[in-house]
């Protein structure tokens, strides 16, 4: 930190000058207030009638002053102007003392009352003033005008409300000089800390937002410095130091990055050794970086990141061997796939190169992998596929720059315009239907993006885009699309529906239902009925409630048939699919079959999965397996479909399907749990534990931790059971099965220690 300040003396000097000027201004304001108070104490001062008993009841110090052994106790006229309160403020104190509430006093009067309350320890008056001032904060401007006074007067609710106003406007608020000085500077953190509002959690959130916005900015560095200053626990320090190292590495300040990483290593953060190696490599010491990572691989339990990092510093067969090992240990690392794909392309093995990069895209929508695949398609001359991937990239990140940050994706699309077929909106709708029926989510996303390029204000398309992004597990991009849908909506009833989905997706189910009702009160629409049905159905319902949800979906479909818009066919298909699911939950299997059959008749391919479930519940396991096979003929690379089909297969076929699911998407946890359970049944306890440990190495998961804890408990390993239970409870503190297992293991461990 000292080194960074030495490198940026101008910033430090400006910061100190700002706080010096601010302190001087505050002192001048105080002096001005004292001068005005002195004038108030002149012979022309105004007298305010107060009830002695009411004023005394405000606080014990006032009671002692007015009824104790002080001279004021014997006076009928008491001068409070010397305590910094004006006649108007005293009238407000008198009113509050009689009625116990703050009327519509102006902010400056309430600030006087707050200062009075602090001086005489009037807790009730202070809380009332704090609440009143906090209610006046509507945005960043009001927060900036009040937060200084809140900090000076220790008005905790006011300060918290002001901070909340800043946080709501992130990342935009961080570009405001006043906000940045308060949140980013050491002096600002000290002031917040004195008021009890500076915490590791606050600065972790702020630094995360800043890193997402611009990793190289001074704001990011300063927030990470404040994060380090707030660190109390060892892991706090490790995290802050490591992130400072990452930011310095991104800024190209490699020596500083190495120092931060080394400090993190000294605090016990092993992963920062990779940062040390990378910083040395950037400084031109490739062999030293290789030696360091070689020592890491030797000294510590193997992990995928170790081999991936060592592969950066070697070549040839050794590099490829390290990358293979990295993928075996952690199949979610993307660099090994990208390197192997690029190597295959250099060897003119285009098909294998595409297969390799497709392995990543089957479980993670990474923009850099999509860009690499677009490059491959350009080399192969498949311009349609290249443009499709570029459109998908722009959906995930509209500001994405290709070719190492030199060209925007839209420019590349424009350059390839003459090489691809141009479609009007009608053709796009047909293409979207084909892609959607073929379970091609990336292709569907690209078509929607192409349509939005023609109609950027189409809120319905934005909403459909958000649904596709959610299906691809891109929550951040999905929320951005949903907000754009709300902002571009031309009708109040549509805007209310989109606001309802935003609330629903952020966990506010009841508020989402309220928005749906408000929308329906304005206009009956498919979207509003569907939102209401979806929100009501997202809970355990009895048969009567479930059938009411079905009725809502039927109302939704009737609205669609009254005025069928382009694209609403997709909504109807989804409604029939949801109705089938609810009928299954109510054990109305014939009705469910009818709904799924209607959906399949208009190419809702995913309805095969629901129909397979119906067959299984009717004890037709072979028919359920065949139904899922029909789905897999269309969705050939769907890990979820293989996983679902395994439920209807015999053991060997199930294991084969689950192995394929893991190959397609290593982040799915059910296959690991199934294989571990089979191994446990075969009394292969260590292998079962190893299967779960393999997945936990790259995906901490509640169910995996609980299952491994249960296995370890059955093996009598109480210490490991308690460790896994504690880790699981960190993720879900109220998980009933884990709590029960934890209490059981604790009792067993206590009994063993006593004996």
pLDDT at 32: 60
Quick check: 1 pLDDT over 60? Answer: no
What is d(CA 399, CA 159) in angstroms, rounded to the nearest whole number? 35
CB-facing half-sphere around the CA of 480: CA atoms within 13 A: 10
What is d(CA 425, CA 414) in angstroms, rounded to the nearest whole number? 18
Find the Cα–Cα–Cα–Cα dihedral 516, 519, 524, 527, rounded to 10°. Answer: -60
Quick check: 726 pLDDT over 60? Answer: yes
Q: How many residues does the chain have?
A: 755
What is d(CA 122, CA 711) in angstroms, rounded to the nearest whole number? 59
| Local confidence band at 248 (pLDDT 50, 70, 90 cut-offs) | very high
pLDDT at 558: 77
The 3-state secondary structure of 475-519, one letter per residue? HHHHHHHHHHHHHHCCCHHHHHHHHHHHHHHCCCHHHHHHHHHHH
Q: Which helix (H) or strand (E) holds 408?
A: strand 407-408
Helix, strand or coil for residue 285?
Answer: coil
* Cβ-based neighbour number of residue 284 at 10 Å: 9
Q: Which two tokens stand for residue 265?
A: 């290593």
Quick check: 379 pLDDT over 90? Answer: yes
What is d(CA 169, CA 167) in angstroms, rounded to the nearest whole number? 5
Find the angle CA(711)-CA(716)-CA(722) to the nearest 5 degrees: 70
Quick check: 308 pLDDT over 70? Answer: yes
| Main-chain phi, psi angles of 264, to 5 degrees | -65, -40
Quick check: 711 pLDDT over 90? Answer: yes
Task: Name the one residue in this structure whose structure tokens are 């292709």.
Answer: 443
pLDDT in tens, 483-539: 999 999 888 999 999 999 999 888 888 899 999 999 999 988 888 888 888 888 776
Contact 112, 89 (CB under 8 A): yes
Task: Name the one residue in this structure whose structure tokens are 């479609």.
Answer: 423
Quick check: 65 pLDDT over 80? Answer: no
| Average pLDDT over all residues of the chain | 86
pLDDT at 602: 78
| Local confidence band at 222 (pLDDT 50, 70, 90 cut-offs) | very high
Average pLDDT (406-418) is 89
Asked whether the bond before 171 is cis by omega within 30 degrees of 0, the reply is: yes
619: left (phi over 0), alpha (psi -120 to 50) or beta: left
pLDDT at 570: 66
Lowest mean pLDDT among 253-257, 334-338, 472-476: 472-476
The listed range with the strongest mean pLDDT (293-297, 509-513, 593-597) is 293-297
What is d(CA 113, CA 525) in angstroms, rounded to the nearest whole number? 52
CB-facing half-sphere around the CA of 108: CA atoms within 13 A: 6
Task: Name the one residue in this structure whose structure tokens are 């009830």.
Answer: 51
pLDDT at 146: 84
pLDDT in tens, 31-50: 565 445 444 444 445 676 67
680-755 to CATH, choices 1.20.1730.10, 3.50.50.60, 1.10.10.1150, 1.25.40.10: 1.25.40.10
Instruction: List alpha helices for 347-437, DSSP H.
Output: 350-361, 367-380, 383-396, 402-405, 409-415, 425-437
Lowest mean pLDDT among 472-476, 541-545, 593-597: 541-545
pLDDT at 50: 74
Quick check: 309 pLDDT over 80? Answer: yes
Q: Provide, rounded to the nearest whole percent, the portion of the chain with pLDDT above 90.
A: 47
pLDDT in tens, 610-626: 999 999 999 999 999 99
| Main-chain phi, psi angles of 100, to 5 degrees | 70, 25
Quick check: 542 pLDDT over 80? Answer: no
Q: Which two tokens stand for residue 536?
A: 């009501």
Q: Which helix (H) or strand (E) holds 273?
A: helix 272-282
Q: Which of 1 and 574 is assigned the larger pLDDT?
A: 574
* Cβ-based neighbour number of residue 224 at 10 Å: 30
pLDDT in tens, 563-587: 334 456 666 777 788 888 888 888 8
Q: Which two tokens stand for residue 516?
A: 């749906």
pLDDT at 110: 81
pLDDT in tens, 331-356: 999 999 999 999 999 999 999 999 99
pLDDT at 350: 94
What is d(CA 95, CA 51) in angstroms, rounded to the nearest whole number? 10
Quick one: which of 316, 299, 310 has its CA closest to 335?
A: 310
Quick one: which of 238, 232, 146, 138 has its CA closest to 193?
A: 232
The 3-state secondary structure of 628-654, one letter per residue? HHHHHHHCCCCHHHHHHHHCCCCHHHH
- Domains of the chain: which residue ranges? 680-755
Quick one: which of 383, 374, 395 has its CA closest to 451?
A: 395
For the question of whether the overall pTM of this predicted structure is more than 0.85, the answer is: no
* Cβ-based neighbour number of residue 164 at 10 Å: 12
pLDDT at 259: 94
Contact 711, 699 (CB under 8 A): no
| Local confidence band at 421 (pLDDT 50, 70, 90 cut-offs) | confident
Q: Which helix (H) or strand (E) holds 407?
A: strand 407-408
Q: Which two tokens stand for residue 193?
A: 């800390």
Q: Which two tokens stand for residue 590?
A: 């014939």
Helix, strand, coil percent content, the chain, rounded in steps of 5: 75, 0, 25
Rg of the chain's alpha carbons, rounded to an integer?
Answer: 32
| Local confidence band at 561 (pLDDT 50, 70, 90 cut-offs) | very low
Contact 420, 384 (CB under 8 A): yes
Contact 485, 498 (CB under 8 A): yes
| Local confidence band at 224 (pLDDT 50, 70, 90 cut-offs) | very high
């Amino acid at each position: 930190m000292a080194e960074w300040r030495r490198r940026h003396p101008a910033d430090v000097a400006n910061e100190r000058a700002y706080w010096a000027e601010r302190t001087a201004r505050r002192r001048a304001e105080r002096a001005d207030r004292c001068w005005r108070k002195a004038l108030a104490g002149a012979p022309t001062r105004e007298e305010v009638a107060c009830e002695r008993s009411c004023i005394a009841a405000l606080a014990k110090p006032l009671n002692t002053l007015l009824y104790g052994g002080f001279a004021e106790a014997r006076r009928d006229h008491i001068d409070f102007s010397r305590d910094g309160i004006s006649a108007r403020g005293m009238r407000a104190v008198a009113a509050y003392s009689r009625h116990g509430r703050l009327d519509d006093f102006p902010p400056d009067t309430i600030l006087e009352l707050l200062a009075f309350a602090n001086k005489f320890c009037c807790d009730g008056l202070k809380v009332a003033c704090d609440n009143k001032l906090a209610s006046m904060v509507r945005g960043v401007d009001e927060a900036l005008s009040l937060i200084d006074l809140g900090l000076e007067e220790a008005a905790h609710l006011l300060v918290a409300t002001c901070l909340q106003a800043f946080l709501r406007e992130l990342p935009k608020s961080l570009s405001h000089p006043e906000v940045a000085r308060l949140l980013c500077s050491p002096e600002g953190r000290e002031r917040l800390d004195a008021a009890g509002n500076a915490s590791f959690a606050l600065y972790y959130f702020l630094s995360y937002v800043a890193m997402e916005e611009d990793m190289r900015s001074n704001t990011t560095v300063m927030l990470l410095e404040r994060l380090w200053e707030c660190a109390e626990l060892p892991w706090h320090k490790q995290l802050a130091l490591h992130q400072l190292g990452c930011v310095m590495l991104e800024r190209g300040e490699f020596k500083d990055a190495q120092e931060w990483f080394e400090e993190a290593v000294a605090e016990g953060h092993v992963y920062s050794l990779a940062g040390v190696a990378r910083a040395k490599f950037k400084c031109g010491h490739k062999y030293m970086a290789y030696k360091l990572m070689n020592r890491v691989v030797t000294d510590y339990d193997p992990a995928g990141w170790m081999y991936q990092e060592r592969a950066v510093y070697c070549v040839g067969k050794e590099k490829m061997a390290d990358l293979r090992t990295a993928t075996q240990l952690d199949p979610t690392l993307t660099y090994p796939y990208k390197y192997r794909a690029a190597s295959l392309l250099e060897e003119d093995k285009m098909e294998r190169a595409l297969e390799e990069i497709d392995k990543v895209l089957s479980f993670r929508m990474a923009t850099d992998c999509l860009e690499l695949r677009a490059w491959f398609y350009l080399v192969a001359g498949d311009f349609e596929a290249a443009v499709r991937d570029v459109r998908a990239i722009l959906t995930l990140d509209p500001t994405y720059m290709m070719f190492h940050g030199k060209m925007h994706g839209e420019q590349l699309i424009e350059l390839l315009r003459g090489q691809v077929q141009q479609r009007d909106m009608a053709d796009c709708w047909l293409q979207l239907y084909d892609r959607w029926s073929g379970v091609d989510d990336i292709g569907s996303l690209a078509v929607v993006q192409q349509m939005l390029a023609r109609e950027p204000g189409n809120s319905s398309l934005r909403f459909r885009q958000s649904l596709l992004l959610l299906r691809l597990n891109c929550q951040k991009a999905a929320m951005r699309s949903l907000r754009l849908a709300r902002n571009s909506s031309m009708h109040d009833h549509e805007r209310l529906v989109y606001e309802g989905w935003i609330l629903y997706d952020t966990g506010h189910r009841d508020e989402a239902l309220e928005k749906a009702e408000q929308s329906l009160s304005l206009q009956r629409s498919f979207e509003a009925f569907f939102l209401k049905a979806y929100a009501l159905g997202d809970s355990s319902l009895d048969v009567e409630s479930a059938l009411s949800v079905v009725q809502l979906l039927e109302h939704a479909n009737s609205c669609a048939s009254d005025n069928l818009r382009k694209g609403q066919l997709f909504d109807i298909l989804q409604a029939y699919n949801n109705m089938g699911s609810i009928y299954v939950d109510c054990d109305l299997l014939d009705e469910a079959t009818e709904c799924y059959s209607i959906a399949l008749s208009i190419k809702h391919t995913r309805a095969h999965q629901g129909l397979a479930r119906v067959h299984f519940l009717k004890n037709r396991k072979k028919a359920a397996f065949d139904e899922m096979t029909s789905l897999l003929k269309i969705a050939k690379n769907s890990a979820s479909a293989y996983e679902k089909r395994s439920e209807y297969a015999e053991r060997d076929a199930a294991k084969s399907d689950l192995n394929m699911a893991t190959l397609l998407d290593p982040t799915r946890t059910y296959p690991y749990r199934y294989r571990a359970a089979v191994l446990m049944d075969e009394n292969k306890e260590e292998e079962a534990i190893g299967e779960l440990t393999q997945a936990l190495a790259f995906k901490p998961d509640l169910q995996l931790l609980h299952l491994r804890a249960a296995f370890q408990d059955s093996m009598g390993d109480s210490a490991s059971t308690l460790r896994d239970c504690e880790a699981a409870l960190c993720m879900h503190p109220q998980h009933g099965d884990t709590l029960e297992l934890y209490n059981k293991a604790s009792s067993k461990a206590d009994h063993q220690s006593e004996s």
